Amino acid sequence: MARKPNSYFQFKQFRIEQGQCAMKVTLDACFFGALVEVSDSQRILDIGAGTGLLSLMAAQRSSARIDAIELDREAAGQAKENVTQSPWTDQIKVIQSSIQTFSGLPEGYDTIICNPPFFENALKAPDRQRNMARHTCSLSFDELAQSLDRHLARSGSAWVLLPTRSTPSFLNAVANCPDLKHSRTIAIRSKPNRQEHRHILTITKNLADQSLEEKSEVMTVHTEAGGYSDRMKVLLGSYYIHPLE
């Protein structure tokens, strides 16, 4: 019998209750949240906040105002609960809304974080809430790119986590927005000799020189022996209660 996911995940400075959310806390989301550069951010937008995990991770490392947008009513309620029980109640605002209709701040956001629905034209599960969280029927890549274009402040950056197979479709959508540029890719692989399975993409707006070359790097989660890589230990050391081995 498969193990039932825990109803909560305890971090050093906050706790994530997740019983009402289709998408639970995952290792991918945790290292994504730890990698996003937020220390100099003043205004952060979290698109598809789910449990509020990424917003809370960002709040731990910044003093930014954070707007966390979540379409699903149950998930938005859970995110509000998690924020209320955290040290950053006054810093994070959870808003139940679609990003397509969200008005946002007039000046835009200097950082946007998004772990979007990524399955395109795939068979759906019976669970409506899980379908909404995982399939692009609730947020297409074109709509996501247009939302980044609309809500990014000048010289702002968006960070997006996707499976590698979804990257080309998303970048095609980004290419249709003239003010956006794909500036960086962090390729994630589980072990040194494995294929990349996730991409963390940085999308920038209104760069002074749009001809700048894209940067790329590779990050490995585990060593060949099965332990966590040194970089993963550093990234998650500020969040996980127990040291990674």
What are the residues facing 10 on neighbouring strands?
15
- Which domains are assigned to the chain? 26-236 (3.40.50.150)
d(CA 1, CA 39): 43
Q: Please give the residue that has the higher pLDDT: either 121 or 140.
A: 140
Q: What confidence tier does 210 reach under pLDDT thresholds 50, 70, 90?
A: low
Regarding beta strands 180-189 and 109-114, do their DSSP bridges make them parallel or antiparallel, or are they unpaired? unpaired
Chain segment 133-172, per-residue pLDDT in tens: 443 457 899 999 999 999 999 989 999 999 999 999 999 9
Rounded to two decimals, the pTM is: 0.88
Q: Which of 190, 183, 191, 131 is nearest to 160 (CA)?
A: 183
d(CA 183, CA 90): 32
Note the pLDDT of residue 119: 46
> How many residues are present in the chain?
245
d(CA 21, CA 41): 27
Note the pLDDT of residue 61: 97
Q: Is the model's pLDDT at 123 over the cut of 50? A: no
Q: What percent of the chain has pLDDT over 70?
A: 87
